[in-house]
A and B are shown apart, each in its own frame.
Chain A
Amino acid sequence: EIVLTQSPTTIAASPGEKVTITCRASSSVSYMYWYQQKSGASPKLWIYDTSKLASGVPNRFSGSGSGTSYSLTINTMETEDAATYYCQQWSSTPPTFGAGTKLELK
């Protein structure tokens, strides 16, 4: 199965700061998906097909990458962005998730 390695594990950012989370796949994948999960809630699809924002996601978020290296970027951190972000691949069975990156407010 494809292993997804996210970094960093935890990051703290101040409002207005730029944040980048990376996801490296053990084998090439066609697309990457990103989920946002807040404490006690279900995950929400955040970015799909590597770079497309899900409905309602602010445009300060962006996704990029190809092959084995992908990233999620927040252009200017806002309070509401504090959450855990998971990357996920569907290119290979079974679908797998990264271990998550916890984004905290500084």
Chain B
Amino acid sequence: QIQLVQSGPELKKPGESVKISCKASGYTFTNYGMYWVKQAPGQGLQYMGWINTETGKPTYADDFKGRFVFFLETSASTAYLQINNLKNEDMATYFCASVGYYDGTPFDYWGQGVMVTVSS
């Protein structure tokens, strides 16, 4: 079955970096873009951007330009989100989502989310 399995929770200090993985299975990885969504504690969903899984080209939403990096390990059907120079406001759950249309119907699968805690 189609699954996106993300890595485990992270506890980091301000200024450190974190790398979150999202491993896809059950479908052809390069057929759909991979999106990243942030959800701060008790808050709503915020689109961070996406990466074209065919070309590896990332696109970042304005709030996520600079410290945030999307990249792929296509041979392992895995997408990554790296956050550099962590700040307190980065504390959130981060979801990956593979989204598109297949034969006129939506293809919409999400990972389970990764909680990133930033604390000194």
A99 and B44 contact, Cβ closer than 8 Å, known pairs A42-B110, A42-B111: yes
Count of interface residues, chain B, beta-carbon cutoff 8 Å: 16
Nearest Cβ on chain B to A95's Cβ, whole angstroms? 5
B29 to chain A, nearest CB (A): 19
Q: How far is the CB of A1 from chain B (nearest CB, A)?
A: 8
Q: Is the CB of A98 within 8 A of B113?
A: no
Q: How far does the Cβ of B113 sit from chain A's closest Cβ, in whole Å?
A: 6
Kindly supply a per-residue 1/0 record for chain A positions 92-104, scoring 1 wherever the CB is within 8 Å of any chain B CB and 0 otherwise: 0011111110000
With contacts A94-B61, A94-B62 known, is A54 near B47, CB below 8 A?
no
CA A100 to CA B62, docked complex, whole Å: 21
Say yes or no for B108: interface residue by CB 8 A criterion: yes
Inter-chain contact A48/B47, CB cutoff 8 Å:
no
Give A71-99 as 1s and 0s: 1 = Cβ < 8 Å from B's Cβ atoms.
00000000000000010100000111111
Q: Tell me which of A42, A86, A96, A99 contacts B113 (CB under 8 A).
A: A42
Check B44–A45 contact: CB distance below 8 A: no
Q: Is the CB of A97 within 8 A of B44?
A: yes
Q: Are B106 and A97 in contact (CB under 8 A)?
A: no
Cβ A86 vs Cβ B47 within 8 A = no
Q: Taking A42-B95, A42-B113 as contacts, is the C-beta distance between A100 and B44 under 8 angstroms?
A: yes
A96: chain B residues at CB < 8 Å are 47
Query: When the two chains form their complex, are residues B108 and A45 in contact, meaning their CB atoms are under 8 A apart?
Result: yes
Given contacts A43-B95, A48-B106, contact A95 B45 (CB under 8 A): no
**B46 interface hit (Cβ, 8 Å):** yes
CB distance from A13 to the nearest CB of B (A): 21
A70 proximal to B (CB < 8 A):
no
| A35, A43, A44: residue with the most chain B Cβ atoms closer than 10 Å | A43
What 8 A-B pairs are tightest by C-beta distance, nearest first? A42-B110, A45-B108, A97-B45, A100-B44, A94-B61, A99-B44, A48-B106, A95-B47
